[in-house]
Structure 1
Amino acid sequence: MNIKTGFGLLVALGLSTQAFALDTAPVLNLETAQKIAAGCQTKAAEKGWKMSITVVDAGANAIYFQRANGAYIASAELSRLKAENSAKMQLPTSVLEDFSFGKDKKGGPAPGLANLPGFVTLAGGIPLHAGKSFIGAVGVSGGLPNEDAECAQAGVDAVKSLLK
């Protein structure tokens, strides 16, 4: 190998290494999603609620779903939509409810949100963060909106130590 070829190879290897030097971000995995759902289910059982629970990743793709025996059928779809909407907006769905209807329920600054197809403006969807990184969301349905939100928060609280 001559000097030019050797130098070219070193340069190419250096550039190749730099091209793959990407920042890494935490990713929500199935095991953590199941722990979130278990935290939700524990709260639901404690309160006597029959809930559907959906956990999605940062791209709003479902990772985990469960529906309790006796939970109403529509709660499955609502939990999915709450999780997806929370992930897509990176906000709790209770905030979307306030945007749409206002805290006093007399009209919010964005009333049209509630009319968008597939958009749910009911509490029960909570975004998930690991440190400063957004990693997904949990959506819960089966009770009143405040019950859904309480149950979703219990799921987030169940994995708080993992999300630092």
Structure 2
Amino acid sequence: AELARTGEAAQQAAERLAEDRDSADSARASALREEAQASAKQAEFGDREREAEQELADALPALEEAAEGLRRISTTQLREVKALTKPPSGVLLTMMAVCALLGVQLPRRAGSKQDPSKEDAWTHVQTQLLRDSRRFVEDLLLIDRDAVAEETIGKV
């Protein structure tokens, strides 16, 4: 009788051991899958980081060139632009983009959801952006390039 109980206890212990081994094997396999997924994501993020760094490295010279171009703009040139009564569409479009970058809201007619007319937009540019030529250039040079919102970039 005692031998039967001991045999039964040994059988139960063997079954628990087999279940524990199966559970451990399953957990190990799951951990290996998760590790493989994490490694793949890490590699993907590493690739994206390298791509972003390369894009930044490619863009920085153009950014510095643009900043140098801004520094070369004279007050006389800005006065000439300000004096235009009907600027070429490229000038108006550029100045509207500058408004977006500087956070200057173009006026809308009362109750209107439409963009302002070209004349209203240009008048606003002349009176708000171009009223102080030196400050205009300084403001452009001081734009925090890292803080420009995606929405603003989309507008520009």
Q: TM-score, normalised by structure 1?
A: 0.26
Structure with higher Rg: it is 2
Q: TM-score, normalised by structure 2?
A: 0.27
The structure with the greater share of residues assigned to helix is 2
